[in-house]
A and B are shown apart, each in its own frame.
Chain A
Amino acid sequence: MANRPGGELAARPLHFFFITDCSGSMAADGKIQALNNAVREALPHMRRVADENPNAQVLLRALKFSNGAQWHVSQPTPVNDFEWNDLSADGQTDMGRALSVLANELKMPPMSERALPPVLVLISDGQPTDDFSSGLKNLLEEPWGRKAVRVAIAIGEDANLKVLQDFIDNPEIRPLEANNPEALLYYIRWASTVVLQKASEPANPAGLIAGGVVPIPLPAHKSDPTNDVW
């Protein structure tokens, strides 16, 4: 029997980024530890979703921002090999710098044309202290930045919902407000599973008519305000 015509086959890469606020305020009331716990708890669920979607090769990275922005996990890491080392909190909220660093990684190359839309999960409890607008402009100028699935989680009532909505840049999706550890856990798991699942699906074009973003279902979580601590 003849061989299948054509060269080697491979699943399409799906780049998933955690973009985490590590400013000093995240040290208060156990926020940073709740974030660390939530990401660690979400990983097995991410692996399950990745296993169920063999057409996507899920690659994780993590970027942190406080005074400037630094990679916490710099290399695109297969989800089965990804380990979460605890973040600590200190310094300012250079969110704009983080988006500029991210924009560089979403250029082609290093991104490939055949990638699935990346997933960007921004988690913050505060106000940007640098030039957020320039960072966002840099990100949205990149084709993969524009087409990325962008989700934002606001921790506590001091989080700037306006800048998080600007980051999302889609009126269909609102920032998710986590005012207690249980809600943060829920939303990080939701982003790591439901959003990942939708982004892993083969192209179901939203079409230019719909703005060209992957449609994602909304989280069903109803937070009990009596549990709010942030």
Chain B
Amino acid sequence: MTDESADGNPSQERGEQARYDQARYVDDGQYEPLLAEKDRTEVEIDADDSPLPDDLTRDAIELPELSEPELARHYTRLSQMIYGIDSGPYPLGSCTMKYNPKFTEDVAALPDAAVHPDRSEGSIQGTLELMYRLQDYLARIGGMDAVTLQPPAGAAGEFVGIRVAAAYHEHNGEDHRDEVIIPESAHGTNFATAALGGYEVVSLPSDDEGRVDLEALEAALSENTAALMLTNPNTLGLFERDITEIAEMVHDVGGLLYYDGANLNALLGRARPGDMGFDVMHYNVHKTFATPHGGGGPGAGPVGVVDDLAPFLPAPRVRADGSSGSEQTYELFDPEHTIGQVHGYQGNWLVLVKTFAYIARLGDEGLTDASAKAVLNANYLASQIDYDVPYEPFHHEFVASAGEQDAADVAKRMLDYGVHPPTTKWPEIVPEALMTEPTEVESKATLDRLAAAFDAVAEEDDETLAAAPDRTTARRIDQTSAARNPRLSWQALADDE
């Protein structure tokens, strides 16, 4: 296909990402050279002008050496070769890619937000108060009794949940419990986390309607059950209507019910994990509360628990010290049977500041409205596309099937229409899955544009799909050769050439 955009007049139907080979042609077969290929310098560590003797130092170091303007252009060009939520819709199922309000960056950049973690408690009352208030917000939203902010990501929150469950069972003399039950459609992190915690994973099939199969659950539960990990709505967007019964069944055998917070955006102000019988949950604050994902992180994964589990939470936590007077003061404390730390300090603090600001901005009214519109958007979008959506009624996300088409190819082709595709090929319960979550931040007009992209691709033949994308910065990338011949640094590239 020829380059239709050379005249600078992008197609009406299809989107096009900025391409830097147009503005600045590179003739060495690259879209943008590496810094080290532009200019690098070797600096020798010379004993004569080093404050340390030779045997304590390295001999030399070789790194890129460029001016500030050159760096500014390099990173600006790199940024223009990235699709973010500010570039367009990003309906990645289960990832909850929301718009990120800009003011939260400013509050996280306040000088008072940047303090050393070893400061005395008396000198960082602001930091401790904000942590305390965020713990309280999250406890209310999740219907939980106590919250730790320490886990630096959702999977780290899962790990805390599993470690807390293990410590609880051990405390009760029940350390024979060595199994964690996980639905087959669950997030991969659930399985990896349970394994990291030393548990056997018992996989739970879904029933014909896409929910937990109660008979299979009954069969899986035993005196060896430490916990059942579940998200609700599940990864098909379906609410586990039998949740009260599920909770009773798990509790009856002495197990704990763990809530994966990845889908909490669907429930804000409508239902709370604590009220459903969950004992422990993590919050993906970078999903539910719209703090930026930063190209893969940092996020934060605070964990909420019921009273019985609070003594096992990571140390330290924050509490109000109960002093009277005009200003409440706050202090750190170690829970009685704490599992210790899961991060060197207190987790991803700047993300927590953004989370606090987001929740404080929206409040009850905004949070409840967000879940309503997230569910409205998912249902509207699903009604507008030509692909089959086998499971319903769904909430904030739905899983369409690409049918005879290859879902991964569909995704590549959607890029040519200027939109980010859904999550593909997962959960496996739906063939050629297109797991779609528009979130509340898309307008009807944007959803219509998204649906048009879905439908245009649905009409196209396999050959066209296999050749996609052709309007993105890079064309289809050879994944096989990347894995077969791993080149993971400029040094490896240089060795290769």
Q: Are A and B physically bound partners?
A: no
Chain B residues proximal to chain A, CB less than 8 Å: none
